[in-house]
Structure 1
Amino acid sequence: MTSEKDVVTEERRNSTIVQARDVDVAAMVMDDNFENDLTPEISEKLRRKIDLHMMPLMCFSFVLMIADQVVVAQSAILGIFEGASLTQNQFNWLATVLYITIMVFEYPQNLALQRYPVAKWMSVNIFIWSIALLAHAACKSFGALVACRIVMGMCESVILPGFMIVTSMFYTRSEHTHRVGLWYMAGMCGSSFLGFIAAALLYVPESSPLMPWQWMMIIMGVVTFLFAIVFVVFFPDSPTTARFLTKEERVWAVQRIRVNQTGVENKRWKKEQSMETIWDLKVWIMAGFGFVSHVPISMSFQKQIIVSQLGFSPLSTTLLSCADGAITIIGILIGLWIASRPYIGRGYATVITSVPPFLGAVLINVLPPNNKIVSLFMYWLSYWVMVPYTIFLGWIGSLVAGHTKRITTNTIVLISAYLGTAVGPFMWRKEYQPRNRIPWLIIALCVIVGALMLLALRIMLYFENKRRDNQPRDTSYDEMYMKKEEEDGTIIKQRVDKAFLDLTDKQNKDFRYLL
């Protein structure tokens, strides 16, 4: 967004000159005569190359993030209660402390992502969190574990917003949901992966100098540290500087996402975009959904306790927990397929995929408890609460434009989500066990309220698109230029496409909300 204070204007053949710092970085690599060279075949080949390089790194990052977040949950039957002298309430707090810390550091981390190179800043955080995870193994008290969880929360708060920004940099809006779905789905594999490790650690002999839960922390800490080295070497900061792309491919990568009308990034924080975000109703509807969708997700921290109280042995409980990730992956795949249907789209897909977890939470509460297999399946069905959120996560980037506005929107939504995750564990009280009727009732209510919120959002955006379609086209930003220095020192005036002016979705009347 431009303002009188920050933009130098001059009337020259009805054009406006803007300062380079106010436009998107993509404008620096664009060539007015280059765009015609981007054919559908080249675009598809480039997308496959980006997928091949980036998706494995993003997916494995999310595997580690989810695994490291629930590593304490898996430790519930590996001796952490005895080893660190924990009560049930203190155990619940270990989850809450992590998510409160993530929530508190979400905005500073988003500001850092805008100011510093994205990949390098994320790498620093992954290194630090791996050290914090290793330090868990040395903890002998609740206080020591809390300190480690705080450091982990500080660092992990960068991953989700970082990947949301990177996804919007490299992919078109129509590709967002599937890419977000892929790396979020990979995260569910982290839960299953951890379950197998926990099952193996049940056989650690009592003569071992370390308890099974301590071995779990060491194994995951070492894996995370090694991955941090890989990440810093291979993960790109943006398509304009990606080393795995040729100079020509970088221009094509920028040209490919031109249809988004959101640009790549702008390193300057803009107060006016931040204020627009705060007064944007749709942002607060998304924030409300973030909160109510994450209160039920607290069950992931309680899953070992929930399943064991259905009547399964420790070994069976650990092995069955491996299925949680597989069940969620199936749900996400179905959800992504539904969302990709043109006649359904993202909004309606989130509503449709809210039905299974709602039914699971209701039925586990009303069916007789003597059939533990049926109860287990209802628990797995309720675990699909993550499916609508995964679709929603890929939808957010298609609903806002302007780099500062995107950063601020991500911050508000993610803070709301982590607030829900922070308060969620407190509904799993000792007096509600083993049926947990109150928690399941709260989960059912959260799911239905979240579905209604996104339905309202979808309807609101539909009418806004219709309103824009019926208005005359806005030509205010059609003739925008910036001064650019050529290699020989010549100063030229280069046209800046509206898509790369770092305009917000409200300023750019050509922007249409993806439904």
Structure 2
Amino acid sequence: FSMTFADKTTLGQSAILGILPGAHLTQNQFNWLGTIFYLSYLVFEFPQNRALQYFPVGKWMSINIFVWAVALLCHAACHSFGALFAVRFILGACEGAITPGFMIVTSMFYTREEQTRRVGYWFLMNGFAIVFLGFVSFGLLHTSTGGFMPWQWLMIITGLITFLTSIAFWFLFPDSPTSAWFLTAEERVLVIERIKVNQAGVENKTWKKDQFIETLKDPKVWIMALYAAVSCVFLPLSNQRQIIVSQFGFSPIVTTLMGCVDGLVEVVCILIGITLARFIGRGYAGSLMYLPGILGAILVNALPSDNRIGLLFSYWVAIFSICPFAIFLGWVPALTAGHTKRTTTNAIIMIFYAIGNAAGPFMWKKQYQPRNHVPWAVIACCSFISGLLLLALRFTLASENKRRAASHESDSLDDVYVEQKDDSGAVHEAKVDRAFLDLTDKQNVKFRYIL
């Protein structure tokens, strides 16, 4: 996850390494390179999620990471907007399998109570990726290789690492607990027994139309989708951050090192956020973490241009607005059940995630530089609305939990049997635990939503 994030943000890092003059790009074309990634993501997200249901998750992700690595290596040979546009389009298509794949596997190995922390742990690797890119860029700015520019070397280095990652992924990343190479047969059974509390099953390769329709009619899915779109308007900041910091008045060398601090701030704020979520719940923790982010965005707009240290620290405080989305990603798998419903929900949320990310870059117009008052105002507003949407989602879930607790609904799903053959060939009936019936959260009256 760290390398895929590093790869897609190489564009932002390249801004300080000479990609604009090297590839003859205008600011508007640079913004489009950020947008086309997510427009491609948007187009391929639903097909990718269908593929994740039909094929082994780890293997399908490995194939996408391999194609991703090849496309990233091809960046180094691009010297025009059109060529970069094409390879960024390929990256976006591959990205559609990564985050949903991680979410699916996380939900198969961990209980709903554990998922927010686990997602937080792999999401905070984004911060380490930024630190890694900062040090690599710092080194590349000290190199001189004739016609091969620093930004091209960055693409080669990250592309080769991702290529090796794809090979390791194929052999080491599990598709599900039932095929995890690092677990014994007994341990696989224990893992599956342990996640029975999720009431969500493990994995099912059959696409179910009724679960698909239920997903489209579920109000909470659309609250989550709207949140994904609004909150992700902020995320394209990752491609603009080097330009923003340099326009505070820092040199390219200092800007690359300051970028390492960006990553550390992201790691710290996500750790704080997922820790808070354990004590006060995901909805409250996510909303609370928006407060410093909003304050940071306001300060970046309000402080005078000659106070570059104040602007820099305000920008770092604004990074806190990234944290709630990490909490949200860990919350999503705990709010739905039924394999088709989970993958469809993931697809819808990731489509709206792509819409927010595709729209975000167009805020960063050259006419707003160097202070970018309009983008920072938009970020503050979107952060405020996102916090309200998290509270609305929590209220909706709490109300449904209360309704279910007060009702006396019953069903016959506790007494489901299937026919099985033993070693001698004799047929007998075996009871199936309701946790493995691939029921949706609506169908399973015993399902309770994590807040």
Normalising by structure 1, what TM-score?
0.86
Count of equivalent residues: 451
Specify the SS of the correspondent of 1:472: coil
Name the counterpart of 2:371. Answer: 435
Deviation at 1:476, TM superposition (A): 2.3
| Other-structure match for 1:171 | 110
Quote the residue 2:84 is aligned against.
Answer: 145
Aligned to 2:99: 160
| Counterpart among 132, 149, 166 of residue 228 in structure 1 | 166
What is the Cα-based RMSD across aligned positions, in Å? 1.0
Match of 2:52 among 113, 133, 139: 113
Alignment-derived partner of residue 328 in structure 1 = 266
1:340 counterpart SS class: helix
Instruction: For 1:230, give the aligned amino acid.
Output: A
Name the residue aligned to 1:103.
42
> What's the counterpart of residue 82 of structure 1?
21
Shift, 1:475, TM fit: 3.0
Q: Percent identity?
A: 55
Q: Which amino acid aligns with 1:125?
A: N
Is residue 239 from structure 1 mapped to residue 177 from structure 2 by the alignment?
A: yes
Q: What are structure 1's unaligned runs of at least 5 residues?
A: 1-61
Matched, 1:453 2:389: yes
Name the CA distance, whole Å, in 1 between partners of 2:303 and 2:440.
50
1:286 and 2:224 aligned: yes
2:234 corresponding residue in structure 1: 296
Does 2:62 match 1:126?
no
Q: Alpha-carbon deviation of 1:486? A: 2.7
1:216 aligns with 2:154: yes
User: How far does residue 491 in structure 1 lie from its aligned partner after superposition?
Assistant: 2.4
Q: Which amino acid aligns with 1:334?
A: I
Show the counterpart of 2:5.
Answer: 66
Kindly state the Cα deviation for residue 209 of structure 1 after the two structures are TM-superposed: 4.2
- Take 1:418 and 1:385, find their aligned partners in 2: how far apart are those partners? 17
Whole-Å Cα distance in 2 between the matches of residues 153 and 297 of structure 1?
15
Higher helix share: 2
Match of 1:369 in 2: 305
* Partners of 1:350 and 1:391 within 8 A in 2: yes
Unaligned runs of 5+ in 2: none
Shift of 1:92: 0.7
**1:473/1:510 contact within 8 Å kept:** no
Kindly report which structure 2 residues correspond to 1:255-404, keeping only aligned pairs within 5 A, or say none: 255-341=193-279, 344-404=280-340
Counterpart of 2:400 (choices 464, 470, 492) is 464
Please tell me whether Structure 1 or Structure 2 has the larger radius of gyration of its CA atoms: 1
CA contact (8 A) 1:66 1:188 kept: no
Please give the secondary structure, in 1, of the residue aligned with 2:178: coil
Which residue, 338, 345, 349 being the options, matches 1:409? 345
Task: Please give the per-residue CA displacement for 1:193-228, whole angstroms capped at 9, x wherever unaligned.
Answer: 1111011000111x4341111111111111001111
Please state whether the residue corresponding to 1:93 is helix, strand or coil.
Answer: helix
Counterpart check, 1:508 vs 2:447: no
TM-score in terms of structure 2 length: 0.98
AA of the residue aligned to 1:222: L
- TM-superposition CA deviations, 1:94-149 (whole Å, max 9, x none): 11011111121111010000000111111111111101000111111111111111
Using the alignment, how far apart are the partners of 1:365 and 1:80 within structure 2? Answer: 28
| C-alpha distance after superposition, 1:306-364 (max 9, x if no partner) | 001111011111110111110011101110111011xx111111111110111111111
Aligned-residue offset at 1:489: 2.7
Structure 1: which 4+ aligned runs deviate by more than 3 Å?
Answer: none
Aligned partners of 1:424 and 1:396: how far apart in 2? Answer: 23
